[in-house]
Chain A
Amino acid sequence: MSLTSEMTALAPDVIEETSFLRDALRAFRKNRMAMVGLFFVVTLILAAVFAPWISPHDPYRVALDEQLLPASSTYWLGTDNFGRDILTRILYGARVSLVVGTVPSLIALMIGTVMGILSGYLGGRTDFVVMRLADMMISFPSLLLAMVVMYTLGANLLNIFIALALVGWASVARVVRSQTLALKGKEFIEAARANGASRATIMFRHIFPNVVPTLIVLFSLSIPDAIMWESSLSFLGVGVQPPGSSWGLLVAKGKEYLFQAPLVAIAPGVAILLTVLAFNFIGDGLRDALDPSMKD
């Protein structure tokens, strides 16, 4: 008896499909902390995007008679050493900090994942080359590496991305490689090979989904890292250039007035703290939601 016959006869509506993402989303919605984090981040993103319309003042207007004012009804978080409104500066700074926090992390994650899976699964010469490259990246002082990139390519946003991705991919590749090595020996990989699956299929349909929860955690942890990196570079004068603003730059500049006007440094610091926390909540929530064994 042939089994392949009449397989198109089945009505399509019988086979309704629920996707992996839809399941994960349902689990995510039930996680209160993650939803709070998501709410905060979404608000922040909206605030950053619409900063020119919602911010109460001009971020670049210098008013030397209004230096270092405390919080008031006009200046909710006070003013800085040039008399600029701090809340406005933070809203504008959020644009840079969010982009710098996420984009280079994503690039590093993508490069690191591909490199890590290739290295772990193919082994041999590929593994050797990729891992020695990663060793070089990690053994080189990363701040110095980022500074060299910034000096040679020039201080602008795109080059910050390049510098941070270059610093970040190696550690991602290492984590992904070790996970791949552990997964490679699993029976389901052997079963996939017994099905005739190609190496590409095994690497990206069998190993990759198993690595995703780790990647999400790595991502949520690398955002605060990237924000810190950006502020270090800005502080050293090779990152964001004044009069532009980023949270790191605001903290760096504000620390000189810590005793006269503590809000100048503390307010952007709190913004960094809340954002980092929010991303961590989201990261935890996503990790739980994407792990099928945690599904209810």
Chain B
Amino acid sequence: MATGDTVLRVRELRTEFRGDRGHVRVLDNVSFDVGRGRIVGLVGESGSGKSMTALSLMGLTPKPQSHVSARSIELDGVELTALGADGLRRIRGRDIAMVFQEPMTSLNPVRKVGDQVGEPLAVHKGLTRRQIRARVLEMFELVGIPEPKARLDAYPHELSGGLRQRAMIAMGLICEPKLLIADEPTTALDVTTQAQILRLMRELRDRVGTSIIMITHDLGIIAEMCDEVNVMYAGQIVEQADVFDLFERPSHPYTRGLLASIPKSTEKRIGRRMPSIPGRVPDLARLPVGCRFSPRCGDVISVCRQEEPALAGLAEGHFARCWVHAPQAATAGGRDAS
């Protein structure tokens, strides 16, 4: 991938939780890049580690019980793993911002929307109250909130879900961060609002130049929004590709399964069951030996149940973690001859 203009470079990100059942590794060896002005998707089922990746990057994982380590997390030349808790705090909201899934609950109910949207400025830039209000007003106009002046002093419950999510996006972008992480930003919204919010995010990417990590379980959103995609399964990236490559030549059986599960209006399948991937996401505390997807995989061979495959290159910028569909021997360093 283009190394010259990479905003975020994540290498071997590992996150562990220490609980009653011992150590659970919720993220294992997650590596990916985000190019400047690009929208990169993280897709997978619930519990695959999408949101945990975002929280780990921002240093927001639950504190005493979780442990995050990485060979490198580089944000526009700054090595985040070398920063302490306070250094990370200074990065949050200024250089990396986040938009959450539930616009209903991610705004403080007893504080005015304008004050909250302006908070990153108050925290990071030391502007006067009047300057902050002026800037928030500007942002409200930018994200298309009608009657922006009146909304400055509104409370969250006085806004609709769509408006609240627009306000959250305004809050995310108010410091012009290098990277915006959107964690299922449209899941709680109805379909028409969803389309508006997605269009808005794409427009803002073009105007502000912020790179976006789009976390979703909706492949439709991926197809519409993203430039590159990382498919996650059980705490690992199982396939990494350009969005066109992924939809045209899905390699990992899990990706294929996900794509096959999308209902198509062109098919005449009345009365038939929708295709789905059999089984469930494995318990991260008792992962299967070998490939993590092997118990649910239709193409499984004997190696799959013995050795874990590595992320191997299929083509320029296209990688998959599979014994059957990716050329393992070349990248796995001949670890397994069989």
CB proximity of A1 to chain B, nearest CB, Å: 6
On whether A8 and B134 interact (CB within 8 A), knowing A187-B100, A197-B123, the answer reads: yes
Query: A198 touching B135 by the CB < 8 A rule?
Result: no
Q: Which residues of A contact B89 (CB under 8 A)?
A: 196, 198
- Contact status A4-B94, CB under 8 Å: no
Tell me which residues across on chain B come within 8 A of A192, comparing CB atoms.
Answer: 108, 119
Alpha-carbon distance between A295 and B155 when the two chains are bound, in angstroms: 10
- Contact flags A3-46 to B (C-beta < 8 A → 1, else 0): 11001101010110110100000000000000000000000000
- Measured in the bound complex, the distance between the Cα atoms of B97 and A154 in whole Å is 58
Report if B335 contacts A (CB, 8 A). Answer: no
CA gap between A191 and B168 in the complex, in Å? 9
- Given A1-B207, A3-B176, A195-B120: A292 in contact with B109 (beta carbons within 8 A): yes
| Any B CB within 8 A of the CB of A61 | no
- With A10-B134, A193-B60, A194-B93 in contact, do A209 and B108 touch (Cβ < 8 Å)? yes
Known A15-B137, A18-B153: A195·B171 in contact at CB below 8 Å: yes
B80 at the interface (CB under 8 A from A): no
Q: Are A195 and B137 in contact, with the CB atoms below 8 A?
A: no
Chain A's closest residue to B92 (CB) is A196
- Indicate with 1 or 0, residue by residue over A182-209, a CB within 8 angstroms of chain B CB atoms: 0000111011111111100100011001
* B102, B116, B138, B207: the one within 8 Å of A187 (CB): B102
Give the residues in chain B near A4, CB-CB below 8 Å: 135, 176
What 0/1 readout, one digit per residue, does chain B (94-105) give for beta carbons within 8 Å of chain A? 100110101001
A124 CA / B64 CA spacing, docked (Å): 10
Shortest A211–chain B CB gap in Å is 9
Q: Answer whether A194 and B58 are a contact pair too, CB < 8 Å, given A188-B105, A293-B109.
A: yes
Q: Is B305 an interface residue (CB 8 A)?
A: no
Number of interface residues of A (CB under 8 A): 36
Q: How far is it, in angstroms, between the C-alpha of A4 and the C-alpha of B60 when the chains are bound?
A: 28
Given A18-B153, A191-B98: A209 and B142 within 8 A (CB)? no
For B101, the closest partner residue in chain A by CB is A187
Query: How many angstroms from the CA of A273 to the CA of B29 in the assembled complex?
Result: 69
- The listed residue (A2, A12, A194, A206) touching B97 by CB distance below 8 A is A194
B111, B131, B157, B168 interface centre (most CB from chain A within 10 Å):
B111
Query: Interface digits, B175-203 against A, CB 8 Å rule (1 contact, 0 not)?
Result: 01000000000000000000000000000
B106 and A196 contacting across the interface, CB-CB below 8 Å: no
Interface string of B127-141 (1 = CB under 8 A from A): 000110111011100
Given that A191-B98, A195-B93 are contacting pairs, would A10 and B137 also be in contact in the complex, using a CB cutoff of 8 Å? yes
CA distance A190 to B63 in the complex (A): 12
The interface residues of chain A lying within 8 Å CB-to-CB of B58 are: 194
Q: How far is the CA of A10 from the CA of B138 in the complex (A)?
A: 10
Which residues in A have their C-beta under 8 angstroms from that of B105?
186-188
Q: A3-B208, A190-B60 given as contacts; is B157 within 8 A of A293 (CB)?
A: yes
In this complex, which of B89, B105, B110, B168 has the most chain A Cβ atoms within 10 angstroms of its Cβ? B110
A191 touching B120 in the complex, CB below 8 Å, given contacts A7-B134, A7-B138, A15-B134: no
Chain B residues engaging chain A, CB cutoff 8 angstroms: 58, 60, 64, 89-94, 97-98, 100, 102, 105-112, 116, 119-120, 123-124, 130-131, 133-135, 137-139, 142, 149, 152-153, 155, 157, 168, 171, 173, 176, 207-209
- Contacts from A to B (Cβ < 8 Å): 1-4, 7-8, 10, 12, 14-15, 17-18, 20, 124, 186-188, 190-198, 201, 205-206, 209-210, 212, 291-293, 295
